């Protein structure tokens, strides 16, 4: 896409039917600088402990990626993090709310664009599908929601991009309520062959949040969750001791799209949980607070260095190829990276125990992010911006 298409933000707002910068849409969506923040990514009064929000944002100007609209491509991200182009196994379940009506077609458009395996079935809910399937968590199709459709497009496409040989299942919860989302988690745990579950949503901490930990304290799949898109803030479920908290970075590239550096994303979530005690596997990590620290591990999430996503279902004037950022990117991408690495763990606790032990004993297997600030400074070693840092290949896991 020509960069002159969005030569000014005023032009963009007119073309896309968006509010003026800083002005909220009817559903709470807003434009901040060159970034569109959907209403589903904004937490509202009364949401904490009751319902979750997404963690994605859209860049309104093409940037330095090599993909459509200037987004990063799967080849680029695989190169950034030393990931195989052919890996992946078993099943990755993506949990999102509401129905995404164009999921199958959009998944295949994305896959075709980047030379990834296609789903040949025309029945999106068929259990015999080999590459992609949708499951209704309650047994019936939920109603639609444009902001959550964007989230689902990002999640299924980028889990597939980083783990091309894994089957991707989109588990659709009836709504964004905690009760429906955690019912979908339980349904996902029971999926045959599931190895990773990604949750790119969350909400402010509440005193009752530990009561939800039972959904994740299971043997079997690894749970990943976005650390959030408010700098220095902690959200649940990423701060659960039974969940891998996915933090955010900003990557730098040269004119050819090659990696030149990585810093902490200024809006990435991080800090100490208000309610969850520090787990035993974090005992060796130096931190200022006594409770669970997040994030655990990080990858690209800055919308300004965002990824190419295809979504043909229009929301607030957006459709087609777009550039997405937010820790909603890092959660499915990290799930895909771990899946492709081929490692196997009995539980998320076992994975995190190994991750921190690996970090303590062989820190060179992670890229230590030492520049940037999300309200906390990026430091040498573990920090509240990127955790142990970014993966550098399958040996990170």
- Compute how many other C-beta atoms are within 10 angstroms of the C-beta atom of residue 201: 30
Asked if pLDDT for residue 22 goes beyond 80, the answer is no
Instruction: Dump pLDDT digits (tens) for 217-234.
Output: 999 999 999 999 999 999
Asked if pLDDT for residue 314 goes beyond 60, the answer is yes
> Percent of the chain scored above 70 by pLDDT?
93
0.85 exceeded by the pTM?
A: yes
**Token pair belonging to 52:** 């979750």
**Average confidence score pLDDT of the chain:** 92
Please report which confidence band the pLDDT of residue 27 belongs to, taking 50, 70 and 90 as the band edges. confident
Quick one: pLDDT at residue 63?
78
**Domain 3-396: which CATH class?**
alpha beta
Look at the chain and count its residues: 397
Overall average pLDDT of the 192-216 stretch: 97
Domain boundary assignment for the chain: 3-396
Exposure on the CB side of residue 359, measured as CA atoms within 13 A? 27
Quick one: pLDDT at residue 302?
98
Quick one: pLDDT at residue 4?
35
Asked if pLDDT for residue 95 goes beyond 80, the answer is yes
Nearest to 145 by CA among 51, 213, 76: 51
Asked if pLDDT for residue 21 goes beyond 50, the answer is no
Asked if pLDDT for residue 10 goes beyond 90, the answer is no
Quick one: pLDDT at residue 375?
97
Q: Which residue has the tokens 């979504």?
A: 311
Please report which confidence band the pLDDT of residue 28 belongs to, taking 50, 70 and 90 as the band edges. confident
In the three-class reduction of DSSP (H, G, I as helix; E, B as strand; rest coil), residue 356 is classed as: helix
**Token pair belonging to 192:** 């045959």
Instruction: Dump pLDDT digits (tens) for 333-362.
Output: 999 999 999 989 999 999 999 999 999 999
């Amino acid at each position: 896409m020509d960069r002159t298409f969005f030569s000014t933000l005023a032009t963009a707002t007119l073309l896309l039917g968006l509010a003026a910068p800083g002005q909220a849409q009817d559903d709470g969506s807003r434009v901040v600088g060159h970034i569109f923040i959907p209403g589903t990514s904004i937490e509202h009064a009364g949401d904490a402990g009751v319902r979750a929000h997404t963690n994605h944002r859209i860049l309104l100007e093409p940037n330095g990626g090599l993909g459509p609209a200037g987004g990063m491509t799967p080849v680029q991200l695989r190169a950034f993090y030393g990931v195989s182009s052919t890996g992946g196994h078993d099943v990755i379940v993506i949990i999102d709310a509401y129905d995404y009506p164009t999921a199958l077609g959009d998944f295949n458009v994305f896959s075709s664009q980047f030379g990834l395996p296609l789903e040949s079935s025309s029945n999106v809910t068929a259990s015999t599908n080999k590459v992609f399937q949708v499951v209704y968590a309650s047994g019936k199709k939920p109603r639609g929601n444009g902001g959550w459709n964007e989230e689902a497009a990002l999640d299924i496409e980028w889990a597939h991009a980083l783990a091309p040989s894994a089957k991707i299942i989109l588990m659709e919860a009836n709504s964004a309520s905690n009760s429906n989302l955690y019912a979908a988690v339980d349904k996902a745990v029971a999926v045959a062959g599931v190895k990773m579950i990604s949750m790119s949503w969350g909400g402010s901490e509440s005193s009752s949040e530990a009561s939800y930990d039972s959904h994740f304290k299971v043997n079997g799949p690894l749970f990943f969750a976005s650390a959030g898109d408010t700098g220095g803030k902690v959200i649940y479920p990423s701060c659960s001791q039974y969940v891998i908290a996915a933090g955010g970075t900003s990557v730098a590239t040269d004119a050819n799209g090659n990696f030149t550096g990585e810093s902490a994303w200024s809006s990435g979530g991080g800090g100490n949980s208000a309610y969850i005690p520090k787990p035993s596997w974090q005992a060796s990590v130096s931190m200022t607070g006594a409770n669970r620290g997040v994030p655990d591990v990080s990858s690209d999430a800055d919308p300004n260095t965002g990824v190419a996503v295809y979504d043909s279902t229009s929301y607030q004037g957006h459709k087609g190829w777009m550039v997405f950022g937010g820790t909603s990117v890092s959660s499915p991408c990290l799930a895909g990276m771990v899946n492709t690495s081929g490692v196997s763990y009995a539980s998320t606790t076992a994975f995190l125990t190994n991750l921190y032990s690996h970090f303590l004993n062989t820190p060179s297997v992670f890229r230590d992010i030492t520049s940037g600030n999300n309200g906390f400074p990026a430091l040498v070693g573990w920090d509240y911006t990127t955790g142990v840092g970014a993966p550098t290949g399958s040996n990170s896991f």
